[in-house]
Amino acid sequence: MKKEKVEHTLEPVIEKDSEILILGSLPSVKSREEMFYYAHPKNRFWKVMANVFSESEPQTIEEKKQFLKKNKIALYDVIQSCSINGSSDSSIQDVKVNDIHKLVEKAKIAKIYTTGRLAYQLYNRYLKETVKIDAIYLPSTSPANAQISFEELVKYYKNEIIESKKL
């Protein structure tokens, strides 16, 4: 499979009162087609987040936006452009990152989480110094991360997100 140059085309989902920013690496092919985050039907992100907050799983883009707004969560990605095979993070090269610093200034972001190892590594390498908020690693909800069960994901996310909100 030939690598293609991909530009991040999704707008960040953020409100002035957003307190949490969750960063992925780059939207999947399916998410780019659907024009919204975590759109692949086998990606467990929305189901995990619904369980973390004890809510029903949002189905439509509008329901997902309302879920994020209600829970003061912003969504975006670390990568602005790169070369990639399909949706495979392991194939990513030639990375340019998004300006997360400007995004964080628009809201009340107190915590930044990254979904997956690559987002965490890229954030720490290119963005941490200017954003000045430590990122907290969360395991990827991608179907490619099959070694972590749904139950383990929920437990991990709940421990990190809900417990940190109590502090």
d(CA 48, CA 52): 6
Question: Secondary structure of 75-128 in the HEC alphabet?
Answer: EEECEEEEEECCCCHHHCEEEEECCHHHHHHCCCCCEEEEECHHHHHHHHHHHH
43 is known as an active-site residue:
yes
Distance of CA 125 to the CA centre of its chain: 17
d(CA 119, CA 125): 10
Tokens of 57: 């799983």
Catalytic (active-site) positions: 43
